[in-house]
Amino acid sequence: MSITKVAKAAGVSIATVSRVLNDPHLVNPGTLKRVEEAMRGLSYRVAPAAERRGRKADSQGRLRHKTVAFLWTGGRSSASSLTGIDMLQGASAALRAHRVNLIADYLDADGKLPAAVVSGAVDGLLLHGPEPSPEVAQKLKGLRVVWLLSPGSSTWGDRVRPDHYKLGCEALDYLVDRGCKNIVCVSFPARTGIFDTMRAAGFAHRAEQRGIAFRCLGLQYNAPVDAAGRFRVAAGLAEEFAALDTKPDGLFVANELGGYLHEQLMRRGIRPMTDFLMIAGDRDFSPQHLEPEPVMVSVHGVEIGRLAVDLLLWRLENPDLNQVTQLLSSSLIEPKKAS
């Protein structure tokens, strides 16, 4: 009996089952219970540590340098976002529990890599951001790599990211279950592997399942590259929203324009959460000072960082298995009620 079958039965990753076997004190109690129940249901026998190819027996031997590097491939801005800080915190805590050192650095426009990465003095890489140039990518492919979130390469390295499609489904359910009938979704044109495309696709699929019609805005715009561009696009979207012949009572912003669109609507006398329900997107792009505060999305960055470390350690144990993408559910965070 393999841990692959246990993972499937428990609805978790192989890395999580490995963690239950080797470091159960690091596992969420609910997850631990689910995995243990799956083991009992499958009559899975836990081999003694000396016989097991688990983290204690194998990956620690592969951690020759006891060092992992976390690189931001898109420069410094992503590292200062709320999600970026959370992911680094989660990865740091997980590595500290295994007594593994963490190097955090940036891949700037010059493409220069940290000395430890160039010399091969790290056991693996955690990467966040776009895929680097072919020359830099070739240097990184020689190491075990886990990408965090949606950007990055789809052809090399493992990945931990939010389940954006599921989030889109849940956003539609949230609005409909609260009585919304005239619903709008804001996204950009379809882009392979980008979070707003996956969220919008899940939203549309659930709407079809439930027989709900909705309008989609924003498909004529290319994704802006800076704050000034997001401001301009949000202004155009606010004009479109205000001009709709049927007054919307529900809005899901699948992309990063939630905070910008909230501001533009308020300027036009349209009040989110008063005139309509609004799911405004990620906390990174929907500052907490928005008033009225919309429903926002938490991608659980700390847990993504922890799971990325789990996956990297599992990859060190299983270097020849197929590429893995591990999905983590996001949450819709309702505004706090005034006391």
Q: How far, rounded to the nearest angstrom, does the alpha carbon of residue 250 sit from its chain's CA centroid?
A: 24
Position 314 scores a pLDDT of 92
Residue 338 within any structural domain of the chain: no
Position 132 scores a pLDDT of 92
The reply to whether 18 and 100 lie within a common domain is no
The reply to whether 156 and 305 lie within a common domain is yes
Position 47 scores a pLDDT of 53
The reply to whether 134 and 282 lie within a common domain is no
For the chain, what is the domain count? 3
Position 103 scores a pLDDT of 96
Position 23 scores a pLDDT of 66
Q: What is the pTM of this model?
A: 0.80
Residue 337 within any structural domain of the chain: no
Position 74 scores a pLDDT of 85
Among 329, 83, 287, 295, which Cα is nearest to 202's? 329
Residues 6+ away with beta carbon under 8 Å from 269: none
Residue 146 within any structural domain of the chain: yes
Position 307 scores a pLDDT of 95
Among 313, 325, 322, which Cα is nearest to 123's? 313
Instruction: Specify the CATH number for the domain of residue 107.
Output: 3.40.50.2300
The reply to whether 229 and 201 lie within a common domain is yes
Residue 58 within any structural domain of the chain: no
The reply to whether 42 and 23 lie within a common domain is yes
Range of the domain at 256: 164-297
Residue 206 within any structural domain of the chain: yes
CA atoms within 13 A on the CB side of 139: 16
Position 48 scores a pLDDT of 47
The reply to whether 236 and 177 lie within a common domain is yes
Position 102 scores a pLDDT of 97
The reply to whether 280 and 309 lie within a common domain is no
Residue 8 within any structural domain of the chain: yes
The reply to whether 141 and 227 lie within a common domain is no
Residue 126 within any structural domain of the chain: yes
The reply to whether 273 and 178 lie within a common domain is yes
Low-confidence ranges of the chain (pLDDT < 70): 1-2, 22-23, 25-26, 45-61, 284-288, 338-339
The reply to whether 242 and 265 lie within a common domain is yes
Instruction: Specify the CATH number for the domain of residue 38.
Output: 1.10.260
The reply to whether 200 and 322 lie within a common domain is no
The reply to whether 286 and 173 lie within a common domain is yes
Residue 15 within any structural domain of the chain: yes
Position 150 scores a pLDDT of 84
